[in-house]
Amino acid sequence: MPGTFEPLPGGGAAVALDDVEISIIRSLAVQLLELIGPGPAEGAPADPLAELFAEGPSEPPADPVLRRLFPDAYSDPERMPDSPKEAEERETYSAEFRRFTENDLRAGKRHSALAVIRSLDALAVEGGGGAVLKLSPDESRQWLGALNDLRLAIGSRLEIVDEDDTDLLYRLPDDDPRKPMVMAYLWLGGLQETLVATLMS
């Protein structure tokens, strides 16, 4: 089981993690939370109707990682607009879509990253030396979302655009400063792949 998710009887998934792996995943999840940004203010009144109609940003984020996590809904990088009017319409539709969806997307990604941190913190309470992380079906889906977001974030920093870029990562020399980030990217990919297979079994 080390390093791979396996199904639990009755649903969910389990993976054996050592202390270093726990520390790496937790640190990356905390960094992801910081990147996504805080949620609603602690003292803000809880008005579900106001939250439902709260507007988010209409402009894409400046940070390339956040642009990868929150892409434009109406952009098609493989097809240029046929006219300036079409380009303007795409921009307008993307801005409107972002304005009404990004807050919810951020909340969902924040929720998944927090679920990862909390489950790892619960493992740490059990004692050192690593442990077997056991996740319910809901927790497994939260982990899957967070692992995907972490890989998107790291992939963006590594400027991975397609599969050819990933192939080049395997051939990086050991003294390349990107090597630790590449190793984390590939390792998280393995975790994500086995978790997907576990949830589909």
Q: Return averaged pLDDT per consecutive 10 residues of the chain, 201 residues in all.
A: 81 92 95 84 52 61 83 65 67 70 86 96 70 94 96 91 74 86 91 94 81
Whole-number Å distance between alpha carbons of 46 and 50: 8
The CB-side HSE value for 200 (13 A sphere, CA atoms) comes to 7
- H or E element: which one contains 133? strand 131-135
Domains of the chain, residue spans: 6-42+103-200
Block residue for tokens 């020399």:
173
Using alpha carbons, select from 168, 152, 178, 174 the residue that is nearest to residue 69. 152
Please give the pLDDT value at position 82: 63
191 contacts 5 by C-beta, under 8 angstroms: yes
Whole-number Å distance between alpha carbons of 32 and 115: 12
Helices 84-126, 137-157: inter-axial angle, 10-degree rounding: 120
Whole-number Å distance between alpha carbons of 96 and 105: 14
Whole-number Å distance between alpha carbons of 155 and 162: 10
18 contacts 128 by C-beta, under 8 angstroms: no
> The tokens of 177 are what?
């400063």
Based on the number of CB atoms within 10 Å of its own CB, is 51 exposed (0-12), middle (13-18) or buried (19 or more)? middle
Q: Is the dihedral of CA 107, 144, 147, 126 positive or negative?
A: positive
Please give the pLDDT value at position 196: 95
Please give the pLDDT value at position 37: 85
116 contacts 143 by C-beta, under 8 angstroms: yes
Please give the pLDDT value at position 96: 73
